[in-house]
Amino acid sequence: MRAPGPQVAAEGDAPRSGWSDRALGIVCLVGAVAYTATARTYETTSFGSGPVGPKTLPTGVGIVFGVLALYLIARPDPGPTWPTRSAGLQVIAVVVASYFYGQLMEPLGFIVASGVLAIVIGFLFRAPMSKLVPLSILFPIVLAFIFNNWLALKLPTGIWGGF
Amino acid sequence: MLAATLLNFNLLDGFAAAITPTNIGLALVGCLLGTLIGVLPGIGPITGVAILFPITLSLGLDDAATLILLASVYYGSQYGGSTTSILLNVPGEASSVVTTLDGYQMARQGRAGQALAIAAIGSFIAGTGSVIGLMLFGPPLSAVTTEFQSPEKFMVVLLAFATVSSLAGANIAKGLLAVTFGVMLATVGTDLQTGVNRFTFGQLKLQEGMDFVIIAIGLFAVSEVLTLLEDTLRGDAVVFQKAERVWITFKEFTESLGAIIRGSLIGFFVGLLPGTGASVAGFMSYGLEKRLSDTEGTFGHGDIRGVASPESANNAAAGGSLVPLLTLGIPGSGTTAVMLGILISMGIRPGSGNVFAETPELIWTLIASMYIGNLILLLLNFPLVKLFVKILEIPPWFLMPMILIISYIGVYSVNNSTLDITIMTLFGVIGFLCRRLAIPLAPILMGLILGDDLEQNFRRSLVASKGEYSTFVSGWLNVGLLVMVVLVLFLPQILSKLRGSNVKDEFADAGAEV
Amino acid sequence: MLVSGGTLTTKLGVQPRETTMSTRPLRMLAILLALALAITACSSSDDAAESDPDAPSADETGDEGAADSSADAAADDEPADQAAETTEDDAGDAMGPFTPESPECVAPADAGGGWDFTCRSIGGLFEDLGLTKNVVVTNQPGGGGGVAFSDIAANRSDNSELVIAASPATAIRFAQNQYGGLEADQFRWIGAIGADFGVVAVPDDSEFESFDQLIEAVKADPTSIVFGGGSPVGGQDHFKVLLLSKELGIDPAEIPWVAYDGGGEAQNALLGGEIQVATLDVSETIGNENLRILTVMAEDRMAGMPDVPTTRELGYETIFPIWRGLLAPGGMSDEAYEFWVDAIGQIEASPEWAAAREENGLEPLRLIGDDFQTFALQAVADFKDLSEPFGLIAE
């Protein structure tokens, strides 16, 4: 796993404030409150024998999470280097493409949807299109063949018709 | 009765039954097939064996051949899972999460070959060790298994949490935040002890809890693709350095040997515990190894011992889990449950008296088969490593969509739910943000894996003891485990004090980014 | 396929842009993929496996149809012509006008569990006996079956080619409103053709020699003996205790019951003494000499446990059959329903099913068509009555 760590602002950049961690802290704090409040509503059935019920651990965990969030707000690390706007947009593009991949896989079928996804992501990674397109078509076909015929796992066929 | 069995083992007979040209050929096929299955995320050893079992039956093989084929598939798919963890940062199942930490870093540094090799060697040594352990101590060790009840398992889970606290990262608060988040994820689903649905918000999908594989692939693989995209655009991404060697040197082997042996021992003993063993083994041995050996802060940055340790532990745990299966008839994991089914279909009922004494041929054939599968896999590793390393030479513009598609479709094909793809993508975004904010990802998964064990074993203990908290310190085993928890948490500080170095520095080292 | 793989390699023989992008790996990849296809093409004929009923028996120890029990997971693609050979001459008439084109069996759980076994074993026999074409098995896990049921009710409710595996866990979850508001009568219950049974087990060195002895002890002090099993509270294993305590007039909430994650863990707790009694199934415990089975919750003795008395023999009303059956979407046409009922009846009568049943420790059972519909709805109603007082019904 690659975790770049807090990429402390390079020399020359204006020193970054801790707004990133503060924002994270606030999000986590809201999450902690919502989580703990939800946990408090869990009543045990007649059988919750034993002194510890279904809400005990979640409550404790929620409180710890909230305290850690408060700590982050109070003592944030220097902010990381966030993506530039264009890089950020392209990252978002991959996320959106992946979302629609899931949504469209059943109507379009595995092969078509995967081919489109591979082309979109390859394009964002600056692929030479002359190679990307044929590979993006071939690869899902081979995968579908292996899954359908070899592993006895059915993939959505959609408009392609499949094997 | 036990002593007689001990001395009267018939492994050689088992080998004699197992080693025929046909069987060796089957082992080869099984290892290759298993590797292919294991490479697909979401389809791990359990599903692999479950899928192939009826097919092997239809081939009309004798029992020994069937066992060899399935054992080979099992080892192959486990190895396939390690392969994707190392090469692509895609952990296909709980046990291979830890392998990604150093394995993937090694791959990026052009040392994928070494990582794959030590994974295979470590697994082989651990497999051999656990077969010996099973042979010599199997029946007596079954007493250990039943000794570990809910309070003891709770302590073991605590110990696992303590050992992996070394994965917390530079900022301890963020490490804790990550673990806590993981435990919060683990509380989603039906609560076993009361039947109450927690945090499901009316979603039927969530009643069985968060699917570990989906979250692991989202957090690790999908977010890796997003991160690499941004790095590529920034222009500072050499994704994978070119490999210089594809096999390890003798020096690297001797360096790792300690980690392998310790990993094997931890894995074997943790594997004895039904239910808890398999997922904990890798985390625990990695955490301990980091505590013991990470003097230069190289763990998490591509330390070969960081691959050797969890891989050995996983394999040894698989061996350890055979003890309760064969002696008590208790399947402690999904894999052993499948294996129990296979044995029953062959007319062996583990747990009925002493299978070692009553049906020795098949039991020893089983053990010999596992050993042969292990050995064939090691031999196959020489050509396979060369092949696998080539995958990294596929240019990122095609490797990245490949990773995404294989991850998505692997999971979809076993669950038939497109919602899973959305959840994976969501956790990909969460993982991306976590990386940017220096929140370590491994503790999230650890919290998710162990959170449920922690809570359920705690509450089971209290129901069974009718509310007596003293159940957690009754008996030498609990007290011993508690002492170990304390030792693991504070030993580094004590050691560094003894060494005269500054405690704070030690903390900074231990906080190497993960 | 081989050809396109070959073309690819030549097409890709272009000088790459970056140093990391040598053409060799791409060529390797193409060759690998082509190889994979070739192997696939050759092996797919070998894979035409007969659906093998040797799969070990398993059961949804938890409500969730947990997949932690056993194996058997390959769909078979037996050639249709072979199936035709075994078709009896008059089978066509018996089947009526409806025949499914692409029959499907949905196992609402992971591969390897009890519902999966039902689909793969019964589904395979549909084809083997020439009743249908190859039955495709689809695993749709989640929500103890709820994900599959709600998906089918919402999107495929008038599908006549589709059947779903079911067991008492299904009925319990319907009764407890765990399927997102779906009711049992929104589905058509086709038939159940085999049953496992609940057992009451203690360790072989237990102080309890007989079931009566245990009951006496529980009656004397319900809180004194800790029970446990492999399902959540309110799930299948817990219901065995609920039913018995209702018959005995004991408040079941007083009986300590520990929920484990599957029957394996529960057995370990039993052998280690954490719980004194476990409620499990025949298939989980048969032949395990570390356990002493006090009673089987059935009418007649099990073939595999001839020495163990049944609850009926001991004078109790309670029995707990874990039937294995199929149901269908509510919008299935009457002709289709009759087809499936007739087909499952033929399977039940076949020697093939008898063999598969026995290998998996299932006792014979024949509850098909309207009989099964009535039985299942009654079971759901009974489970509901039992769940309600204890707050086990989801809102």
CB C56 within 8 A of CB C360: yes
Enter the DSSP assignment of C224.
S
d(C-alpha A97, C-alpha A74), whole Å: 37
Predicted model pTM: 0.79
**Looking at residue B92, what is its pLDDT?**
72
Is the CB of residue A94 less than 8 Å away from at least one CB of chain B? yes
CB B148 within 8 A of CB B477: yes
Q: What single-letter amino acid sits at B43?
A: I
List all residues 6 or more positions away from B99 whose beta carbon is below 8 Å from its beta carbon: B82, B85, B86, B91, B119, B282, B307, B310, B311
Tokens describing residue B162: 């303590």
Mean pLDDT of chain C: 76
- The domains of chain C are located at 2-46, 197-296
Q: How does pLDDT run across C44-62, given as a tens digit for each residue?
A: 333 333 333 333 333 333 3
Q: What single-letter amino acid sits at C295?
A: T
The helix (run of H) or strand (run of E) holding residue C339 is helix C334-349
d(C-alpha B424, C-alpha B430), whole Å: 10
CB contact under 8 A, C256 and A49: yes
CB B305 within 8 A of CB B111: no
pLDDT at B513 over 50: no
Is the CB of residue B459 less than 8 Å away from at least one CB of chain A? yes
Q: DSSP for C158-217?
A: T-SSEEEEE-HHHHHHHHTT-STT--GGGEEEEEEEEEEEEEEEEETT-S--SHHHHHHH
Give the distance from residue B313's alpha carbon to the nearest chain A alpha carbon, in angstroms.
20
CB contact under 8 A, B353 and C289: yes
In a domain, B277, yes or no: yes
Q: Among residues 388-427 of chain B, which lie with CB inside 8 Å of chain A?
A: 395-398, 400-402, 404-406, 408-409, 412-414, 418-422, 424-425
In a domain, B139, yes or no: yes
In a domain, B306, yes or no: yes
d(C-alpha B142, C-alpha C163), whole Å: 43
Q: How does pLDDT run across C22-31, given as a tens digit for each residue?
A: 444 444 444 4
Q: Dmax of chain B from CA atoms?
A: 69
Q: How does pLDDT run across C78-105, given as a tens digit for each residue?
A: 333 443 444 444 444 444 578 888 888 9
Q: What is the CA radius of gyration of chain B?
A: 22
Give the whole-number percent of chain C exceeding pLDDT 90: 30
pLDDT at B90 over 50: yes
Q: What single-letter amino acid sits at A10?
A: A
CB contact under 8 A, B345 and C150: no
Name which of C36, C233, C390 is nearest A146 (Cβ-Cβ): C36
In a domain, B235, yes or no: no
- 3 state SS of B234: helix
Average pLDDT for residues B249-271, to the nearest whole number?
88
- What would the 3-class secondary structure string for A24-91 be? HHHHHHHHHHHHHHHHHCCCCCCCCCCCCCCCHHHHHHHHHHHHHHHHHHHCCCCCCCCCCHHHHHHH
Strand partners, C281: C198
CB B407 within 8 A of CB B222: yes
pLDDT at C202 over 90: yes
CB contact under 8 A, B193 and C146: no
CB contact under 8 A, A102 and B413: no
Neighbours of C345 (CB within 10 A): 17
- What would the 3-class secondary structure string for B364-381 be? HHHHHHHHHHHHHHHHHH
Tokens describing residue C319: 């029995």
d(C-alpha B351, C-alpha B175), whole Å: 43
* Contact residues, chain C, for B213 at CB < 8 Å: none
CB B233 within 8 A of CB A87: yes
Enter the DSSP assignment of B342.
H
Average pLDDT for residues B283-293, to the nearest whole number?
85
pLDDT at A70 over 80: yes
Point out the least confidently predicted range of A96-110, B321-335, C57-71, C154-168. C57-71
**Looking at residue B203, what is its pLDDT?**
79
**Looking at residue B331, what is its pLDDT?**
75
Strand partners, C295: C200
Is the CB of residue A147 less than 8 Å away from at least one CB of chain C? no
Name which of A47, A128, A149 is nearest C17 (Cβ-Cβ): A128
Q: How does pLDDT run across A74-87, given as a tens digit for each residue?
A: 888 887 778 888 88
Buried residues in B463-497 as b, exposed as e (16+ CB within 10 A): bbbeeeeebbeeeebbeebeebbeebbeebeeebe
Is the CB of residue B238 less than 8 Å away from at least one CB of chain C? yes
CB B30 within 8 A of CB B373: yes
Give the distance from residue B194's alpha carbon to the nearest chain A alpha carbon, in angstroms.
5
For C289, name the nearest residue in chain B, comparing CA atoms only: B352
d(C-alpha B468, C-alpha C276), whole Å: 17
CB C122 within 8 A of CB C159: no
Q: What's the distance, CA A111 to chain centroid? A: 23
In a domain, B375, yes or no: yes
CB contact under 8 A, B406 and A4: no
Q: How far apart are the first and last CA of chain A?
A: 37
pLDDT at B133 over 60: yes
CB B416 within 8 A of CB C139: yes
Buried residues in B344-360 as b, exposed as e (16+ CB within 10 A): bbbebbbbeebbbeebb
List all residues 6 or more positions away from B494 whose beta carbon is below 8 Å from its beta carbon: none
Buried residues in B161-196 as b, exposed as e (16+ CB within 10 A): bbbbbbbbbbbebbbbbbbbbbbbbbbbbbbbbbbb
Closest CA to B429 of C136, A88, C166, C265: A88
Point out the least confidently predicted range of B225-234, B436-445, B490-499, C186-195. B490-499
Tokens describing residue B21: 């040209």
CB contact under 8 A, C262 and B456: no
Please state the domain count of chain B: 1
The phi and psi torsions of A33 (rounded to 5 degrees) equal: -65, -45
d(C-alpha B151, C-alpha C274), whole Å: 10
**Looking at residue B6, what is its pLDDT?**
41
Give the distance from residue A129's alpha carbon to the nearest chain B alpha carbon, in angstroms.
10
Q: Which residue reads 């300590």 in tokens?
A: C256
* Contact residues, chain B, for A135 at CB < 8 Å: 398
d(C-alpha A108, C-alpha A144), whole Å: 14
| C197-296 classified as CATH 3.40.190.10 | yes
CB contact under 8 A, B47 and C73: yes
Q: How does pLDDT run across B373-405, given as a tens digit for each residue?
A: 888 888 888 788 888 888 888 888 888 888 889
Mean pLDDT of chain A: 81
Give the whole-number percent of chain B exceeding pLDDT 70: 86
Is the CB of residue C394 less than 8 Å away from at least one CB of chain A? no
d(C-alpha B446, C-alpha A4), whole Å: 20
Return the sign of the alpha-carbon dihedral for residues B130, B136, B142, B148.
Answer: negative
Q: What single-letter amino acid sits at C274?
A: E
- What would the 3-class secondary structure string for B403-414 be? HHHHHHHHHHHH
Provide the pLDDT confidence category of residue B355 given band limits of 50, 70 and 90. Answer: low
Return the sign of the alpha-carbon dihedral for residues B149, B153, B154, B156.
Answer: positive
Is the CB of residue B416 less than 8 Å away from at least one CB of chain C? yes
Average pLDDT for residues B345-370, to the nearest whole number?
69
* Contact residues, chain A, for C44 at CB < 8 Å: 149-150
Q: What's the distance, CA C375 to chain centroid? A: 18
